[in-house]
Amino acid sequence: MALDRFGPRRVQMPMLAVAALGGVLFAQAQSLEGLLAARALIGLGVSASLMAAIKASSLWLPPERLPMSTAVLLAVGGLGAMVATAPMQWATDAVGWRLAFWGIATCAAAVALLIWARVPEHPAHQTTHHAASLKDMLASVGRLYAQPLFWRTALCTLVSNGAYMAIQGLWMGPWLRDVGHLPRAEVAQVLFWSTAAMVAGSLSFGALTDWLARHRVRPVTVCGGGVAVFLLVQVLMLWPLGVPFWLLAVAFSYFGTAGAMNYAILAQGMPASAPASTC
C-alpha cells in the first residue's frame, strides 16, 4: 500500500538505506544474534525491490511492454545472484567476508542515491494531497482478491516460483554436493553458470512472449509451456537417467524463469492504478 500511496521512488530509497545499514551491521557483528538481526535488516531492505520496479513499469510503460520489462528486471536480479556465487567466493577469499559485506552495503547506498538523483517522480505521486485513504486502499486490495485472474495467476506463481526460488537459493548447492558429489569449487562454478542461465532465461522468455504476442499468442501460453519443461527438469533431477548434474542445474535455472511471466500477465490484466500487491 505504501507503493500505491507514495510511489515506488519514495518507497525504494529508504528501504535500500535499511539494506545498507544491515550490511554495515553484518560486517561488524560479533555474535550470532548480531548476524541474524543484521541479515533480517538486509532482507527487509531489499524486500520491496522487485515489486517497486514492477510497479514503476506498470506506471510508466504501456501494458504490452510489461512482459519484456519484467523479464529485464528479473534478468538484472539474476546478475545479482551470479555475483553471489563464484565472484562472492573469490571476494571472500581475497578480502574476507566482512569487507565483502561492506561492499554490499556500499552498493545498496549507492543505488539509493542514484534513485534519488536520477529517477523521476511519476505525476500520480508528485503530491499526496489527493491520495487515497487507507480505507480506500484496503478496499482496492479487497477488489483485487476478488478477481479470478488473481487467484489463477497467484496459485501458479506460488507453486512454480516458490519451488524455483527455494531450490535455486537454498538447495541447489547441497544437491550438487551431496547427490552429484561435486567438489566445492566446481559447485560454485555450476551455480555461477546456472544463475547465468537465469539471466538468459528471463531475457529470452520475455523476448519470446513479446514477439509471440504480436502474432496473437497469449503470454499465458508461453508461460505454461516453459513451466511444463521446468517440471520435466525436476523429474530428471529425481531420476537423472545419465544426464549430467551441471546440465540439470543450468536447465532448472533457465526454464524456472518461465513462471515469472505471471507477474506481467497479471499486471496486464489490471489497470495501472491497481494495487502494487497485484504483483
User: For the chain, which residues make up each domain, given as ranges?
Assistant: 2-123+132-267
pLDDT value at residue 279: 45
Residue 152, burial from CB neighbour count under 10 angstroms (0-12, 13-18, 19+): middle
Q: Is the pLDDT of residue 127 over 80?
A: no
**Does position 18 have pLDDT exceeding 50, yes or no?**
yes
* Mean pLDDT (whole number) for 248-255: 95
CA-based R_g, the chain, Å: 20
Domain spanning 2-123+132-267: CATH superfamily: MFS general substrate transporter like domains (1.20.1250.20)
| pLDDT of 257 above 60 | yes
Mean pLDDT lowest for which of 34-48, 58-72, 243-257? 58-72
Residue 253 has pLDDT above 90, yes or no: yes
Number of Cβ within 10 Å of residue 205's Cβ equals 28
H/E run at residue 173: helix 172-178
> What's the mean pLDDT in 142-168?
85
User: What distance lies between CA 274 and its chain's CA centroid?
Assistant: 20
Torsion 105-2-40-142 (CA) sign:
negative
pTM of whole model > 0.75? no
Output the average pLDDT for the chain: 86
Contact 263, 279 (CB under 8 A): yes
The answer to whether the CB of 141 falls within 8 A of the CB of 275 is yes
Assign 126 a pLDDT band (cuts: 50, 70, 90): low
